[in-house]
Amino acid sequence: MPWQPFLSVIPGSVPADLAIKHITCSDISDNWPMKDQVVEQIDDINQQLACDLSLEAPEIFVDNLGKRRIRCRNKLSEQAFRSRPALEEWRCQLVPTALALWAVQHPLAVRLISGGEMDLNSRPWFIHANDARGIRSRAKVMAAIADFHLNDSVAANWISLACGAAVPVLKTLHSAKLKSQKFTLLLIDHDRQSLKFARGLATQYGLVEGQHFQLLMRNLFDRMIVTDKLVQELGEQSAELVDGLGIFEYFSESEAVHFIRHALRLVKPGGVLIISNMLKTSPQIDFALRCVGWTTIYPRTLFELREIILAAGINLQNVTVTLPSDGVYAVMEINVRE
Interatomic CA distance for residues 169 and 287, integer angstroms: 27
Contacts of 261 (CB under 8 A, 6+ apart): 312, 313
Q: Does the N-terminal peptide bond of residue 58 adopt cis geometry, omega within 30 degrees of 0?
A: no
- Region of residue 325 (phi > 0: left; psi between -120 and 50: alpha; otherwise: beta): alpha
Q: Find the range with the poorest average confidence among 149-163, 214-228, 262-276.
A: 149-163
Kindly give, in sequence order, each residue whose CB lies less than 8 Å from that of residue 42, ignoring residues fewer than 6 positions away.
Answer: 125, 128, 129, 130, 284, 287
Partners of 291 in beta bridges: none
Task: Tell whether the torsion through CA atoms of 117, 125, 30 and 137 is positive or negative.
Answer: negative
Question: Average pLDDT, stretch 137-163?
Answer: 87
- Predicted local distance difference test score (pLDDT) of residue 6: 35
How far apart CA 74 and CA 23 sit, in angstroms, is 36
Query: Residue 11 above 80 pLDDT?
Result: no
- Over 70: is that where the pLDDT of 5 sits? no
In the structure, what pLDDT confidence band is assigned to residue 313 with cuts at 50, 70 and 90? very high
Burial class (CB in 10 A: 0-12, 13-18, 19+), 163: buried
Flag whether pLDDT at 2 surpasses 50: no
- pLDDT of 212 > 60? The answer is yes
What is the pLDDT at residue 183? 81
- Per-residue pLDDT tens for 46-97? 999 999 999 999 999 999 999 999 999 999 999 999 999 999 999 999 998 8
Amino acid at 22: H
pLDDT given at position 309: 98
Residue 225 has pLDDT above 70, yes or no: yes
Rounded Cα distance between 332 and 245, Å, is: 9
Backbone angles phi, psi at 90, to 5 degrees: -60, -45
pLDDT value for 171: 87
pLDDT of residue 177: 56
> Which pLDDT value is given to residue 154?
64
Is residue 3's pLDDT more than 70? no
The pLDDT value given to residue 179? 53
DSSP 281-309: T-TTHHIIIIII-PPP---B-HHHHHHHH
